Structure 1
Amino acid sequence: MLETLQTKLKEKPSRKEREVVIVYPFNTETKEIFLIQEYIHSYDRKFWKFVSGGVDKVDKDILTHAIEELAEEVAMQSAVVCHLYSSERVFGNRPMHYFIAENPIVMENPPENPDEDYITDAKWVDQTEFQQMLDSKELLWDQGTMCALQAFRRYQ
């Protein structure tokens, strides 16, 4: 049994185990966060969520991944992208890295989004509407929504 565990620890992580970046586009003047509604093929349904993506390029750091996800998913860029929080791998969860992109602007020539899932809607919401979406279960309570609440708190 110990040999099996040691072998598993030496194996390269699968695609499902890779780290993830979450980016919160945040308007510091209106105190609004940007949400996207995405159709997720593997679930065959739509979810309200945050800009996110897997850390899949070995030669790039997590900040670079966050900046690229912002550009690929929602065609935005920001002069200020700051790290909010990182969680380590606990009980099978993947390491997650959370970033705030302050006052993003829409890009003129964004890179192509390689994702199979597609955005069906997007909107800016303030903390009151965000809380209403949590209460109505449009948004799921998870580490991502808790960190988003920290982003709101940061700019109060």
Structure 2
Amino acid sequence: MLETLQTKLQEIPSRKDREVVIIYPFNTETKEIFLIQEYIHSYARKFWKFVSGGVDKLDKDILTHAIEELAEEVSMESSNFYHLYSSERVFGNRPIHYFIAENPVIMENPPENPDEDYITDAKWVNETEFQKMLDAKELQWDQGTMCALQVFRRYR
């Protein structure tokens, strides 16, 4: 049994090598995306970001990871989950899988969040507010924000 556990642990990718899921909770009526501000211990500061998490369970597919991250991080669930985009491992970057969770609702009995980092704020923003956050450098300009802009574009 110990050998089986050691073999399983060797198969789990390290934190820096594992794939990532990013989820965009999106209200299709108000055309708003949900952002969280999280205190990241390793940087000792707060960041506005999207719901996200590392793929760390070998027995689950990418969509299941995305659904679980939405539940663990912000206690939300959605009956309409869509795959938006997946990036490849390029220049040492790890693959990232982007999902839209349409019209999420707050869960009655959410699972516990195992993360060390914690959410300090959260808000729904429309495309204009999102762009202002980008311009003010409250959001990092990266592949995640470009995909978020595609989400807004999709629902115009």
TM-score normalized with structure 1 length: 0.92
- SS of the aligned residue for 1:65 comes to helix
Aligned residue in 2 for 1:120? 120
1:11-26 aligned at under 5 Å gives the runs 13-26=13-26
Query: Is 1:72 aligned with 2:81?
Result: no
| Matches of 1:71 and 1:117, distance apart in 2 | 16
Identical-residue share of aligned pairs (%): 86
Aligned residue in 1 for 2:111? 111
| Matches of 2:149 and 2:16, distance apart in 1 | 26
Amino acid at match of 2:127: Q
Task: Structure 1: state its 5+ residue gaps.
Answer: 1-10
Task: Structure 2: state its 5+ residue gaps.
Answer: 1-10
1:13-92 aligned at under 5 Å gives the runs 13-92=13-92
Q: Give 1:83 deviation, angstroms.
A: 0.1
1:105-133 per-residue CA deviation (whole Å, 9 max, x = no partner) reads 00010000000000000000000000000
Amino acid at match of 2:107: M
Aligned residue in 2 for 1:138? 138
- SS of the aligned residue for 1:16 comes to coil
| Matches of 2:70 and 2:98, distance apart in 1 | 12
| Matches of 2:95 and 2:35, distance apart in 1 | 21
Q: Give 1:13 deviation, angstroms.
A: 4.1
TM-score normalized with structure 2 length: 0.92
Does the CA-based 8 Å contact 2:38-2:119 persist in structure 1? yes
Query: Is 1:154 aligned with 2:154?
Result: yes
Q: Give 1:59 deviation, angstroms.
A: 0.4
- SS of the aligned residue for 2:16 comes to helix
Q: Give 1:15 deviation, angstroms.
A: 2.2
Amino acid at match of 2:67: I
1:12-49 per-residue CA deviation (whole Å, 9 max, x = no partner) reads 74221100000000000000000000000000000000
Amino acid at match of 1:53: G
Runs of 4+ aligned structure 1 residues displaced above 6 Å come to: none
User: What is the number of residues matched between the two proteins?
Assistant: 146
Amino acid at match of 1:115: D
- SS of the aligned residue for 2:82 comes to strand
Q: CA RMSD in A?
A: 1.1
| Matches of 2:143 and 2:37, distance apart in 1 | 18
